[in-house]
Amino acid sequence: MELLGLYHYWVFAVLLMIGFYAVIAKSNLIKKLIGLSIFQSAVFLLYITMGKVEGGTAPIIQAGVENPVFSNPLPQVLILTAIVVGISTTALGLGIVVRIKEEYGSIEESDIQEIDRR
C-alpha cells in the first residue's frame, strides 16, 4: 500500500513533466494545449491521491453502516469543478488557436514568430 502511494506521486511527477515538456518543447500550438491538459490532469491526480484514506469509501453517507471511513470530500469537490473549468479554458485556448490559424495561416510557433518579425 505504501509503495502504491509513492508510485502515485511518482506518476504525478512524470505526467506533470511530460505535459510540461510538450508545452515548452513543441512548436505546434495544438500540441502545446494537449500538453497543458496532461499537466492539468497530473495536478488532479495529486489532489485526489492525497484525499484517499486507507480502507475508506466514497464520501456518501449510508444508513446502517457502523463507523464508516470516508475519503476526504474536499479535494474531490475542488477537482470536480476544476475539470469543468479546465475544459472551458481549453475551449477558449482552442478558439484562439483557430483564430491564429485564420490570420497567420499556420499554428507552428516558429512560423508565427517569423511573420511577426516582418
Partner 1 sequence: MIVLFGVFLLSLMVITALAIVRTHHLFVAVILTGIFSLLMAANFFLLDAADVALTEAAIGAGISTVLFLGALALTGEHERANTSNRLLALSVVAVTTLLVIYATFDKPRFGDPLAPVHQHVAPWYLDKTAEAIDIPNVVTAVLGSFRGYDTLGEVFVVFTAGIGVLFLFGARPSYSSGAARTNTTDPGQGLRHYLIPRVVGRLLIPFIFLFGLYVQFHGDYGPGGGFQAGAIIAAAVILYALLEGEEQALRVLPHKLLIGLMAGGALLYGGVGVAALLLGGNFLDYSVLAADPIVGQHIGILLIEAGVGITVTGVLISVFHAFAGRRRY
For residue 96 the three cell numbers come to 484562439
Which of 64, 66, 84, 116 touches partner 1 by CB under 8 A? Answer: 84
Q: Are 77 and 45 in contact (CB under 8 A)?
A: no
For the CB of residue 118, give the shortest distance to partner 1 in the complex, in Å.
16
Verify binding: residue 113, partner 1, rule CB under 8 A.
no
Verify binding: residue 115, partner 1, rule CB under 8 A.
no
Q: Which is nearer to partner 1, 73 or 117 (CB)?
A: 73
Verify binding: residue 65, partner 1, rule CB under 8 A.
no
Encode burial over 59-76: b for 16+ CB neighbours within 10 A, e otherwise.
beeeeeeeeeeebeeebe
Verify binding: residue 43, partner 1, rule CB under 8 A.
no
Which residues are CB-neighbours of 32 under 8 A, at least 6 positions away?
A: 22, 23, 26, 109
For the CB of residue 112, give the shortest distance to partner 1 in the complex, in Å.
12
Instruction: State the residue for C-alpha cell 513543441.
Output: 26
For the CB of residue 43, give the shortest distance to partner 1 in the complex, in Å.
12
Question: Please, which of residues 2-41 interact with partner 1 by CB under 8 A?
Answer: 2-22, 24-28, 30-31, 33-35, 37-38, 41
For residue 22 the three cell numbers come to 510538450
For the CB of residue 104, give the shortest distance to partner 1 in the complex, in Å.
10
The H or E element spanning position 104 is: helix 73-104
